[in-house]
Amino acid sequence: MIEFILASKSPRRCEILRQYGFTFKTVESNAKEKHLEGELSEKEIKENIKYNSAIKAYNVWCDNESEVIVSADTTVVKNNVCLNKPHNVNEAFLYLKSLSGTSHQVYTAITIKARNYEKTEIFETDVYFRELSDEEIYSYISEFNPLDKAGAYGIQDFISEAEVADPPSKSFVSKIGGSYYNVMGICPVGLDRMLEDYKVWAVGTFNL
């Protein structure tokens, strides 16, 4: 398996990749991301996610040009509006209230950057929330303080991967369509396939 630098110190991404046996070290990116607000087209949203992922990879690669860099950017989208990390408890409540009883999308862009190589792909998961009471939302925010999470929630707070097929009744999440880990911040199956594509390219190009 290809060793790489993960351009992130996200504990959730690191946990996922270690669980799947990836070999990597972490370097935090200092890239300036773009956060779009208001209603946008699907194309604008996806281009922005891909930009943020790619610029994080490039920022780390500039100091590590002999290495393979992997980066990711995750965005929660409801009705073509990006729900970024909430600024405060009130915004977190409004985000979760808007997700109650409906479905939304979680997009994660993954970038692989190396010498003479760069590729970014987007992976999508549909997430369905059951109807939530105001008390449940405030209780969740108080207990988990999700201000560092896009959409104001972490799916791991509600269900484990083993519970995806049959979520517990108390879970905010009633159903998902797509990768569970994509919602947490990176799709390991997608990354594995992207690294294999890179390996094929590298062997053909450099006889590595």
- Cα of first residue to Cα of last residue in the chain, in angstroms, is 13
Q: Where are any strands of DSSP class E within 13-158? A: 24-26, 69-78, 81-83, 103-114, 117-129
For 90-106, write each residue's pLDDT tens digit: 999 999 999 999 999 99
The answer to whether residue 133 scores a pLDDT higher than 60 is yes
CB-CB neighbours of 163 under 10 Å: 13
Q: What is the pLDDT of residue 3?
A: 95
Annotated catalytic residue within 63, 73, 134, 157: 73
Q: What is the DSSP letter of 133?
A: -
**What was the pLDDT predicted at 206?**
65
CA distance 152 to 148: 7
Q: Average pLDDT for residues 173-198, to the nearest whole number? A: 97
- Does residue 208 register a pLDDT over 80? no
Is 73 among the catalytic positions? yes
For residues 110 and 191, is the Cβ–Cβ distance under 8 A?
yes
pLDDT over 90 at 136, yes or no: yes
pLDDT recorded at residue 180: 97
Mean pLDDT of 48-71: 97
- pTM of this prediction exceeds 0.85: yes
The CB density around residue 155, as the number of other CB atoms within 10 Å, is 25
Q: Which of 32-46, 101-115, 159-173 has the lowest mean pLDDT?
A: 32-46
- Amino acid code (one letter) for 4: F
Q: What's residue 127's pLDDT?
A: 98
The CATH code belonging to domain 4-206 is 3.90.950.10
pLDDT greater than 70 at residue 24: yes
Can you tell me the distance from the alpha carbon of 113 to that of 53, in angstroms, rounded to the nearest whole number?
Answer: 10
Give tens-digit pLDDT for 26-58: 999 999 998 888 889 999 999 999 999 999 999
Angle in degrees, 0-180, between the axes of helices 134-144 and 89-99, rounded to the nearest 10: 130
User: What is residue 105's predicted lDDT score, i.e. its pLDDT?
Assistant: 97
- pLDDT value of residue 143: 96
* Cβ count near 195 (within 10 Å): 18
Residue-level pLDDT at 205: 79
According to the model, what pLDDT value does residue 104 have? 98
Would residue 45 be called left, alpha or beta, if left means φ above 0 and alpha means ψ between -120 and 50 degrees? alpha
What are the extents of the domains in the chain?
4-206
The DSSP secondary structure of 145-208, one letter per residue, reads -GGGSGGG--GGGT--GGGTTS--TT-SEEEEES-HHHHHT--HHHHHHHHHHHHHHHHHHH--
Please tell me the distance from the alpha carbon of residue 195 to that of residue 91, in angstroms, as a whole number.
Answer: 37
Q: What is the mean pLDDT of residues 171-196?
A: 97
